[in-house]
Amino acid sequence: MMRTRPLKVALLGCGVVGSEVARIMTTHADDLAARIGAPVELAGVAVRRPDKVRGGVPAELITTDATALVKRGDIDVVVEVIGGIEPARTLITTAFEHGASVVSANKALLAQDGASLYAAAQQHGQDLYYEAAVAGAIPLIRPLRESLAGDKINRVMGIVNGTTNFILDKMDSTGAGYQEALDEATALGYAEADPTADVEGFDAAAKAAILAGIAFHTRVRLDDVYREGMTEVTAADFASAKQMGCTIKLLAICERAADGGSVTARVHPAMIPLSHPLASVREAYNAVFVEAEAAGQLMFYGPGAGGSPTASAVLGDVVAVCRNRLNEATGPGESAYTQLPVSSMGEVVTRYHISLDVADKPGVLAQVATVFAEHGVSIDTVRQQGKDGEASLVVVTHRAPDAALSGTVEALRKLDTVRGVASIMRVEGE
């Protein structure tokens, strides 16, 4: 039997995502009520610019006083889609204090301060759900928190930023340079006017922190995530990748150490074999590859951003939270019981693809090989081409600690016969 008193939802933010949340709540109200077991009602919408036209949102619901809205006391669920650290953090904790559960899409806040938000939710007996914070419409957080809760996850590797994937895909498929591909992404609306958060890896790093925390049941903050952007990736890098049967992606990689005693989280460009499932992810799509002991290899794929896809994830959480409230229960909270240390990038075992500009004369290869040996790094393959006194030397290593590989590169720069290091890129996904 359906409850007649509606569950009330407050919406913080009514931009691209928030407006879609409001629209779907209105147009699919009957379906949502049937799925939840009670009507769900949009009770207020907090915005910064009240004069902006927002189709489908009744004017009487608009307010600029977000604090008053979350303090009302009759709100069941607060949906936070304003982003940023403040005032989002204060509004969320205030919502908990006044008896509301929270659905958030705020990856930056969760990556920086997720532990305190979880603690506040638990203290006040409320839910904190955030499926939309990572990979848009792709169901990912709930499978990691719930479906795989009985398994041991060893690795999560994925493409979690659509803008960067679009740019790298265009560079790969058309031979375009970085700036040309970025300009196209901007013209199509995939890249912001200031694309720094995307192309320098900040967005992906926040998502990596969230994924690592859930996958490994330990607290991983944004500051724990190693980050490299993709602005230095060139057409020549893609040519080298193709010669190896690879392509290049900006990857978020979260791993449990082989001995199980620590975890790592990192974001950087990497060459991956064309045979790997992530290599075929095109345009602005996202995909996340999960490796678990019992379940094996799983891949989650779909649109990772945009108003409708993200709103879909938000409303999935709204339905779950509303069901919990009807049952006077809460869903999963923070699981950080392992308290594993987060290792530095230098301890990560990986492979390098290194392209060197060298003098074309006898003994150069022997000098280079000696540097690798002195740093305990084994060479997998070497390719050399040269003429007119100049040559290029491409070295692919076996797996070694990243600190040893970085030390090798620095030592190579000091050789008189090495004119310069043309490119360095990690190789993943074997």
Cα 232 from Cα 244, distance rounded (Å): 20
pLDDT tens readout for residues 50-83: 888 777 788 899 999 999 999 999 999 999 999 9
Report pLDDT for 389.
64
Average pLDDT over residues 20-49: 96
Average pLDDT, the chain: 95
Q: Which residues pair with 58 in a beta bridge?
A: none
Report pLDDT for 362.
87
DSSP string, 76-100: SEEEE-S-SSTTHHHHHHHHHHTT-
The residue length of the chain stands at 430
Q: How confident is the model at residue 116 (pLDDT cuts 50, 70, 90)?
A: very high
Omega before 87 within 30 of 0, i.e. cis: yes
Cα 103 from Cα 46, distance rounded (Å): 15
pLDDT tens readout for residues 128-173: 999 999 998 899 999 999 999 999 999 999 999 999 999 999 999 9
Please pick, among 8, 107, 170, 207, the residue that the annotation labels catalytic.
207
Report pLDDT for 61.
94
**By percentage, how much of the chain surpasses pLDDT 70?**
98
**By percentage, how much of the chain surpasses pLDDT 90?**
89
Is pLDDT above 90 for 346? yes
pLDDT tens readout for residues 239-259: 999 999 999 999 999 999 999
Average pLDDT over residues 182-199: 94
Is pLDDT above 80 for 3? no
Q: How confident is the model at residue 388 (pLDDT cuts 50, 70, 90)?
A: low
Give catalytic status of residue 8 as yes or no: no
